[in-house]
Amino acid sequence: MKTKILTLLKNTDSYLSGQDLCNQFGVSRTAVWKAINQLKEEGYVIEAVPNKGYSLKECPDVLAYSEIKSVLTSKWAGQELFCFDTIDSTNTKAKQLAEEGANHGALVVSDNQSGGKGRRGRSWESPVSTGIFMTLILKPSLNPSDASMLTLVMAIAVAKACNKLTKDSCFIKWPNDIVLNRKKICGILTEMSAEMDYINHIVIGIGINVNMDTFQNELKEKATSIKIENGYPVKRAELINQVMLCFEEEYEIFMMHHTLEAQKERYNNMLVSLDKEVVIMEPSKEFIGIARGINSKGELMVEKEDGQMMAIYAGEVSVRGIYGYV
């Protein structure tokens, strides 16, 4: 009921009468009053005016179940929702929930991560109540060999969602980072559980630097937050909603043909290194080329010095700009 009251409060310009709430939910005035008080304790500023009712004046930036649910306008992505204050890793939790029967579209969100994972088990800094740490569970009818493209689909969605807040200043660093003013604001980590020819489930973990004020030491050079670049904070729950909405749209396009053919132009328009020199780092050697964008399989096409085109798969290879991270 708390979630429903909050949703009503958010969608009303004027006042909500206490008696109307009682009638609507079939509960007592005391029950409504308790729910309102709980919301106040969570940081919502709710004005109560006699003979008029309740009015929401201010929302805190929390990632509680009620808050996210009250702003979530997606069809399926995130509608089954699991929220945590702190968690080891949202990917680990999501894999466990998926094994136990969580459905396609279920979302795990945490205000903080104590053991956040970057690619290949690298650690990932997770300060309290400033970032978004979430993992979306998917159970698509898809060949396991096509699953890696979903990372790029999510990259488009996150970049689009962040661009609504940053006047189109966000770009994609192939394959799975989002950068703002040439510094990282988001990483995406996709993991899959599959049989030979059948996907059990996919989890897509997303970490977004939203409201951090500062980064330590060497991270300072490479990472930033939306708040640092914008100069003002952002409501994280609303950004989650935007990411879910954008992902639903992009996912449906991708699932029509299981290729990125219809999306590669959009991806490439946001590619930070498009038509720029990049360093391709293979395990044994490095070389320089010009990034020409992804192909329909999500591989990065790089033009070598001799004019030859080369398709880079996100395997043992990493790509950076010639002057640093991007």
* Among 12, 145, 181, 269, interactor with a copy of itself by CB under 8 A: 145
Question: Could you say which of 69, 93, 95, 236 contacts a copy of itself (CB under 8 A)?
Answer: 95
Burial class for 123, CB neighbours closer than 10 Å (0-12, 13-18, 19+):
exposed
90 binds a copy of itself (CB under 8 A): no
The beta strands (E) that lie in the chain are given as 45-49, 53-58, 81-87, 107-113, 131-138, 170-173, 177-180, 183-195, 198-209, 277-281, 286-294, 300-303, 309-312, 318-321
Is 193 among the residues that bind a copy of itself (CB under 8 A)? yes
Tokens of 250: 């992009």
Q: How far apart are CA 241 and CA 234, in angstroms?
A: 13
Q: Is 115 in the site for a copy of itself (CB under 8 A)?
A: no
Q: How many residues bind a copy of itself (CB under 8 A)?
A: 28
CB of 191 to a copy of itself, least distance (A): 5
- Is residue 99 involved in binding a copy of itself (CB under 8 A)? yes
Q: By C-beta, is 26 or 101 nearer to a copy of itself?
A: 101
With CB under 8 A as the contact rule, the residue among 92, 113, 135, 209 that binds a copy of itself is 92
- Site membership for a copy of itself, residue 123 (CB under 8 A): no
Nearest to 162 by CA among 138, 129, 131, 191: 131
β-pair partners for 313: none
DSSP β-bridge partners for residue 107: 81, 136
Spell out, one character per residue from 197 to 236, where the chain touches a copy of itself: x when CB under 8 A holds, - when not: xx-x------------------------------------
The annotation status of 224 as a binding-site residue, yes or no, is: no
> Does 144 contact a copy of itself by CB under 8 A?
yes
* Contact status: 314 vs a copy of itself (CB under 8 A): yes
* Whole-number Cα distances in Å, 81 to 54, 103, 185, 298: 27, 10, 24, 29
What is the dihedral angle through the alpha carbons of 244, 215, 222, 152, rounded to the nearest 10 degrees? -10
Asked whether residue 184 is marked as a ligand-binding residue, the answer is yes
* Residue 175 binds to a copy of itself (criterion: CB under 8 A): yes
| CA dist., res. 256 & res. 245, Å (int) | 18
281 near a copy of itself, rule: CB under 8 A:
no
Q: Indicate which single residue of 74, 130, 163, 176 sits in contact with a copy of itself (rule: CB under 8 A).
A: 176
Stretch that binds a copy of itself, among 32-40, 53-61, 164-172, 310-318 (CB under 8 A): 310-318
**Do 264 and 296 contact (CB within 8 A), yes or no?**
yes
Binding window for a copy of itself (CB under 8 A); candidates: 41-49, 138-146, 166-174, 221-229: 138-146
User: Which is nearer to a copy of itself, 142 or 180 (by Cβ)?
Assistant: 142
> Within its chain, how far is the Cα of 60 from the centroid?
20
Token pair belonging to 95: 């894999």
- Kindly state the smallest distance separating residue 315's Cβ from a copy of itself, in Å: 4
Neighbours of 84 (CB within 10 A): 17
Residue from 14, 26, 58, 120 in contact with a copy of itself (CB under 8 A): 120
Mention every residue, 6+ apart, whose C-beta is less than 8 A from residue 118. Answer: 124, 187, 189
Nearer to a copy of itself, 175 or 289 (CB): 175
- By CB under 8 A, name the binding residues for a copy of itself: 92, 95, 99, 119-120, 143-145, 147-148, 151, 175-176, 189-198, 200, 313-316
